[in-house]
Chain A
Amino acid sequence: MATLLFEIGCEELPAWACREAEVQLPGLCERELGRRPDELLLGPRRLAFLVRDLPERSPDEWVKGPPEHMRQQAADGFARKQGVAVADLEVREGFLGITRPGRPLAEVLPDRLDAIVQSLTFSKSMVWEAGGLRFARPVRWRLAKLDAADIAGDGASYGHRFTHGRVEAPEAEAYAETLRAAGVEPNQAVRRAAIVAGLDAIGGWSDPVGVLEEVVFLVESPVVLAGRFDERFLQLPRRVVETAMQSHQRYFPLEGGRFAFVANGGDPETVIAGNEQVLEGRLEDASFTFERDVAKGIEQLAEESGRITFVAGAGTFADKAARLLALVEALGGGEASLEAARLAKADQAAELVREFPELEGHIGAEYARLAGFPEGVCAAIDEQYLPEVAGGPLPSTEPGRVLAAAEKVDNLTVAFALGERPSGSRDPYGLRRAAIGLCRLALEAGLELDVSALVERDRALLVEQGAEVREDPADVADFVLERLEGLLDVPVEFLRAARAGATTELGAVARLAETLAREATSDSFERAYVAYDRSNRLAGRADGAAAALDPKLATEEAEVALIDALGAASPRIEAAVQARDFESALAAAAELGPPVDRFFDEVLVMAEDESIRANRLRLLLEVRDAVGALGDLSQIPR
């Protein structure tokens, strides 16, 4: 048995490329070598793996030829093709064939290893020689050692880029220790642990943006260091400081005017001084921008947002703020949410948002705070874009929830009105996430959201503002309701049924669907279903129903009984649906089941007398519509 070490030496790979290789290498290794690697060693300049207990020869291979009974006709040709004499052919399970002996591993490896390199794919790749290999970054060397033998390359690897050059590992198992002696920690888990230990030793570190996993792949020789910056920069919004540190520099914020970072070598004092200067430069630049914004103040910024296009065809950010204000009003939002809506888009005119686009909303909230607005207003401005991902946290304040809902309704309405509906995987404006956000605001936060009404109000505002409304955005409501399917633990048929009911408010549709699903096997559901289904089947398809029901035209006893039952049940169903007491509504609807059955048993709907027939069809339609306040029950499979 032998141990194989294979290293693909690269120019600095991005962290994501290392992780994509991590996912693929075990499978590729198994495909080409018959075994999964025992160790994966991944870093910015090398993708390596170690496989132990590899058989030293590849297994013998049985090459199957023609059936034995065809020996006369076919043996000669087969033997010639395989380059053996007919006498050497063997017989197995009725077939002629030959045993091709396995080859020494060292002979087959170069091709197999090359196949692994060729098969690795990356979400973004490049060439460094026209028409050459595609890889995440250029591959500059390969090292393959089978125990102590060199299989590919010249037996060289390379240590730390600046402190150690070419190194040679005496054998496969000595690879990691050879690199360690050359200033490289090849094992990503070891690097990660060293970084965390270093940060812990400094203490009080945080990683709000989440750069640790990337930093593990930015260094081969991690050294954790700490620096300081002038505390006057703490007057900047905290997240601006954090973003400058994390997104731009991959630092870890510490408390007060301090930060930690991970270097890849160098003289610590020199490296710390340099990084401190860089961070101060960035923060000073941000301060210039911040102070210019603050000198203008949020009210002036709100005014200037009237010169910035929100979306071509849908006006400026000031226009958008005006729509948000009206939507918040329609949502019954209080003083704080109204004020927040008015100022929601002011920060789009802020220079600091141009520098830190990921902090939109947050920067506006800070500027509102500096202008002395109540905390409720500031928090709502801050929270308007939540949830940031479909499953992310919702706004924590009531004004924030109302403004976040208005923001999403407007984004959806504008996109649909401009004809930019998401299709397939194309959803550049994140409209599915917005719709899911609305559903969650209704389901989890109990916000009352009558999407149809809100969209209609928004559409009217767009028209008033002179926007290019190219298409009717009314289908936003369906688009949002469809998202409920993924959020509720209810078979989709119940949701589809409920969506056709008398209620359009998002949370109510959800509760109605849940009630129908829960009651699906109850007697009352069965009776309501019968009432709906039998009347719908006949009257729903027939022509000639009277315009209005005339009780005086009822001639049969069962017919009169049904009219009476309808008169009693209908207002109770309506009132209960109105009150969102769907169980009571279902109970009232169930009372129509027996009279409908009796009606069909005893009454001939298609009477010869046209007016009687028309009246009976109208009666059935009214029964269907009364029960139909609970939804289109025919959607539910029986």
Chain B
Amino acid sequence: MSAPTYQETIAALERYWADYGCVVMQPYHTEVAAGTMNPATFLRCLGPQPWKTAYVEPSIRPLDGRYGENPFRFQHYFQYQVVLKPAPENVLDVYFGSLEAIGIDLRKHDVRLVEDDWEQPTLGAWGLGWEVWCDGMEITQWTYFQQLGGLELDLIPAEMTYGLERLTMFLQGKRTAFDLEWAPGVTWGDVYRESERQWSVYNFEKAPVDVLTRHFNEHEEECRLLIGERLPLPAYDQVLKCSHTFNLLDARGALSATERAAYIGRVRNLARSVAQLYVEMETDGDAAL
């Protein structure tokens, strides 16, 4: 049997986690640097309600682009995100089951959990966990969240973030992501290489610094207004827009070390306020999500 294509691997993960009982979601509609920032993870992990979800998320990181020249670095790639809140006692076994479901023979390979703690300062979030190695390849970032938006959590979720390119490189035995077979006869490179080139030009050379600077301020302002209106969900989108705008400014080399820290602090404050409002409304029961 030949190795599964990129899209078949995604389909197998969707099937496995749907069967487990997850709500299978779709990617979020605004740019995020990681699946964690999707409200289906960040907001749903707050408050007292149990939640299980799985979804593909494009990870947008302007600074990591290399004009499509380096087949290991991209400004746009994909994660498969799974959240189980609260983490069941057999959560690791359930996770390892997903590896078997996509065709990894756990006895034939060397699968290991290597300490890797996670922190996302712009979201005031941290957790402890591992990177999962399969024959030395990091295929998943695995985290027990401890705080989000600076808040302690009512239920401790487990977050499993599969790096879809690395995982399928491993499954297909391919050296680079460009060589991955996305669908029969079509490679990942066919689909995204030119996109990497054009977006790298935009991110590093063309993105208008003055406009972005203004946008950041506007998104921040709008976020505060929406918090005042007790609308944490739209407010959170403004946090995401601030975060992405900051990433673009950073890629443009427009920020000094002090400015970077200040921007990160501003995003973190917004994330914290939204998280507090969200929890408050969840707990009062006046938010119907």
- Which of A263, A271, A274, A288 is within 8 Å of B72, CB to CB? A288
The answer to whether A128 touches B87, judged by C-beta atoms less than 8 angstroms apart, is yes
Measured CB to CB, the closest approach of chain B to A521, in angstroms, equals: 55
The answer to whether B70 touches A261, judged by C-beta atoms less than 8 angstroms apart, is no
The answer to whether B156 touches A130, judged by C-beta atoms less than 8 angstroms apart, is yes
The answer to whether B256 touches A309, judged by C-beta atoms less than 8 angstroms apart, is yes
Measured CB to CB, the closest approach of chain B to A251, in angstroms, equals: 8
Chain A CB within 8 A of B154 CB: yes
Over the window 156-195 of chain B, the binary record of Cβ atoms lying under 8 Å from chain A Cβ atoms (1 yes, 0 no) is: 1000000000000110010110000000000000000000
The answer to whether B117 touches A128, judged by C-beta atoms less than 8 angstroms apart, is no
How many chain B residues touch A (Cβ–Cβ < 8 Å)? 45
Distance A162 CA – B132 CA, assembled complex (angstroms): 14
* Residues in B whose Cβ lies below 8 Å from that of A313: 258
- Which of A12, A44, A312 is within 8 Å of B257, CB to CB? A312
Measured CB to CB, the closest approach of chain B to A310, in angstroms, equals: 9
Over the window 275-312 of chain A, the binary record of Cβ atoms lying under 8 Å from chain B Cβ atoms (1 yes, 0 no) is: 10111110011001100000000000000000101011
Measured CB to CB, the closest approach of chain B to A259, in angstroms, equals: 10
Distance A329 CA – B109 CA, assembled complex (angstroms): 59
The answer to whether A126 touches B110, judged by C-beta atoms less than 8 angstroms apart, is no
* Residues in B whose Cβ lies below 8 Å from that of A263: 110
* Residues in B whose Cβ lies below 8 Å from that of A198: none
* Residues in A whose Cβ lies below 8 Å from that of B115: 12, 14-15
Distance A264 CA – B175 CA, assembled complex (angstroms): 24
Distance A137 CA – B98 CA, assembled complex (angstroms): 22
Chain A CB within 8 A of B155 CB: yes
Distance A312 CA – B114 CA, assembled complex (angstroms): 36
Chain A CB within 8 A of B215 CB: no
How many chain A residues touch B (Cβ–Cβ < 8 Å)? 46
Chain B CB within 8 A of A376 CB: no
The answer to whether A311 touches B257, judged by C-beta atoms less than 8 angstroms apart, is yes
Residue of B nearest to A270 (CB): B108
Measured CB to CB, the closest approach of chain B to A266, in angstroms, equals: 4
* Residues in A whose Cβ lies below 8 Å from that of B106: 162
* Residues in A whose Cβ lies below 8 Å from that of B73: 285, 288
* Residues in B whose Cβ lies below 8 Å from that of A278: 135-137
Supposing A218-B112, A278-B137 touch, asked if A288 and B253 sit within 8 A by C-beta, the answer is no
- CB contacts under 8 Å to A, within B87-103, are 87, 89, 92, 96
The answer to whether A266 touches B70, judged by C-beta atoms less than 8 angstroms apart, is no
* Residues in B whose Cβ lies below 8 Å from that of A312: 256-258
Chain A CB within 8 A of B69 CB: yes
Over the window 236-260 of chain B, the binary record of Cβ atoms lying under 8 Å from chain A Cβ atoms (1 yes, 0 no) is: 0000000000000000010011100
Query: Which of A128, A218, A249 has most B Cβ within 10 Å?
Result: A128
Distance A146 CA – B74 CA, assembled complex (angstroms): 57
The answer to whether A126 touches B128, judged by C-beta atoms less than 8 angstroms apart, is yes
The answer to whether A249 touches B136, judged by C-beta atoms less than 8 angstroms apart, is yes
Residue of B nearest to A129 (CB): B156
* Residues in B whose Cβ lies below 8 Å from that of A23: none
Chain B CB within 8 A of A124 CB: yes
Supposing A130-B154, A267-B108 touch, asked if A11 and B92 sit within 8 A by C-beta, the answer is yes
Chain A CB within 8 A of B144 CB: yes
Over the window 118-144 of chain A, the binary record of Cβ atoms lying under 8 Å from chain B Cβ atoms (1 yes, 0 no) is: 000000101111100000011010000
Chain B CB within 8 A of A265 CB: yes
Distance A307 CA – B257 CA, assembled complex (angstroms): 11
Distance A274 CA – B71 CA, assembled complex (angstroms): 18
Chain A CB within 8 A of B66 CB: yes
Over the window 111-135 of chain B, the binary record of Cβ atoms lying under 8 Å from chain A Cβ atoms (1 yes, 0 no) is: 1111101000000000110100011
Distance A15 CA – B153 CA, assembled complex (angstroms): 27
Chain A CB within 8 A of B146 CB: yes
- Which of B72, B109, B134 is within 8 Å of A285, CB to CB? B72
* Residues in A whose Cβ lies below 8 Å from that of B258: 309, 312-313
The answer to whether B107 touches A266, judged by C-beta atoms less than 8 angstroms apart, is yes
- Which of A130, A140, A261, A281 is within 8 Å of B155, CB to CB? A130
The answer to whether B113 touches A12, judged by C-beta atoms less than 8 angstroms apart, is yes
Chain A CB within 8 A of B4 CB: no
* Residues in B whose Cβ lies below 8 Å from that of A126: 127-128, 144, 146
Measured CB to CB, the closest approach of chain A to B83, in angstroms, equals: 15
The answer to whether A284 touches B72, judged by C-beta atoms less than 8 angstroms apart, is yes
* Residues in B whose Cβ lies below 8 Å from that of A277: 135, 137, 173, 175
Query: Which of A264, A278, A280 has most B Cβ within 10 Å?
Result: A278
Supposing A126-B144, A128-B87, A281-B175 touch, asked if A274 and B135 sit within 8 A by C-beta, the answer is yes
- Which of B112, B117, B155 is within 8 Å of A264, CB to CB? B112
- Which of A267, A274, A285, A288 is within 8 Å of B136, CB to CB? A274
Our count of residue pairs bridging A and B at CB distance below 8 angstroms stands at 109
The answer to whether B135 touches A266, judged by C-beta atoms less than 8 angstroms apart, is yes
Chain A CB within 8 A of B86 CB: yes
Residue of A nearest to B48 (CB): A130
- Which of A11, A249, A288 is within 8 Å of B113, CB to CB? A11
Residue of A nearest to B109 (CB): A266
The answer to whether A288 touches B257, judged by C-beta atoms less than 8 angstroms apart, is no
Over the window 209-223 of chain B, the binary record of Cβ atoms lying under 8 Å from chain A Cβ atoms (1 yes, 0 no) is: 000000000000000
Supposing A124-B128, A266-B110 touch, asked if A129 and B135 sit within 8 A by C-beta, the answer is no
Query: Which of B108, B112, B153 has most A Cβ within 10 Å?
Result: B112
The answer to whether B144 touches A128, judged by C-beta atoms less than 8 angstroms apart, is yes
The answer to whether B107 touches A138, judged by C-beta atoms less than 8 angstroms apart, is no
Distance A13 CA – B170 CA, assembled complex (angstroms): 26
Distance A163 CA – B170 CA, assembled complex (angstroms): 21
Residue of A nearest to B115 (CB): A14
Distance A124 CA – B119 CA, assembled complex (angstroms): 13
Distance A119 CA – B92 CA, assembled complex (angstroms): 26
Residue of A nearest to B152 (CB): A130
Distance A391 CA – B115 CA, assembled complex (angstroms): 29
The answer to whether B156 touches A261, judged by C-beta atoms less than 8 angstroms apart, is no
Measured CB to CB, the closest approach of chain A to B62, in angstroms, equals: 15
Query: Which of B70, B92, B258 has most A Cβ within 10 Å?
Result: B70
The answer to whether A274 touches B154, judged by C-beta atoms less than 8 angstroms apart, is no
Supposing A130-B153, A278-B136 touch, asked if A124 and B117 sit within 8 A by C-beta, the answer is yes
The answer to whether A281 touches B72, judged by C-beta atoms less than 8 angstroms apart, is yes
The answer to whether B257 touches A128, judged by C-beta atoms less than 8 angstroms apart, is no
The answer to whether B154 touches A275, judged by C-beta atoms less than 8 angstroms apart, is no
* Residues in A whose Cβ lies below 8 Å from that of B112: 12, 218-219, 264
Measured CB to CB, the closest approach of chain A to B185, in angstroms, equals: 23
Supposing A218-B114, A277-B173, A285-B72 touch, asked if A261 and B136 sit within 8 A by C-beta, the answer is yes
Measured CB to CB, the closest approach of chain B to A637, in angstroms, equals: 49
- Which of B135, B154, B156, B257 is within 8 Å of A270, CB to CB? B135
Distance A445 CA – B219 CA, assembled complex (angstroms): 57
The answer to whether B72 touches A162, judged by C-beta atoms less than 8 angstroms apart, is no
The answer to whether B170 touches A128, judged by C-beta atoms less than 8 angstroms apart, is no
Distance A284 CA – B156 CA, assembled complex (angstroms): 39
Residue of B nearest to A126 (CB): B128
The answer to whether A128 touches B72, judged by C-beta atoms less than 8 angstroms apart, is no
* Residues in B whose Cβ lies below 8 Å from that of A11: 92, 113
Residue of A nearest to B134 (CB): A274
* Residues in A whose Cβ lies below 8 Å from that of B130: 12
Measured CB to CB, the closest approach of chain B to A417, in angstroms, equals: 16
- Which of B110, B114, B253 is within 8 Å of A271, CB to CB? B110
The answer to whether A274 touches B107, judged by C-beta atoms less than 8 angstroms apart, is no
- Which of B114, B137, B156 is within 8 Å of A274, CB to CB? B137
Distance A218 CA – B253 CA, assembled complex (angstroms): 39
* Residues in A whose Cβ lies below 8 Å from that of B86: 129-130
* Residues in A whose Cβ lies below 8 Å from that of B155: 130
Measured CB to CB, the closest approach of chain A to B196, in angstroms, equals: 13
The answer to whether A288 touches B69, judged by C-beta atoms less than 8 angstroms apart, is yes
10 A-B residue pairs with CB within 8 Å: A11-B92, A44-B113, A162-B107, A264-B110, A266-B109, A270-B108, A277-B173, A278-B135, A284-B175, A309-B256
The 6 closest A-B pairs by CB, nearest first: A274-B135, A312-B258, A14-B115, A12-B113, A266-B110, A275-B136
Point out residues on B near A: beta carbons under 8 Å. 66, 69-73, 86-87, 89, 92, 96, 106-115, 117, 127-128, 130, 134-137, 144, 146, 152-156, 169-170, 173, 175-176, 253, 256-258
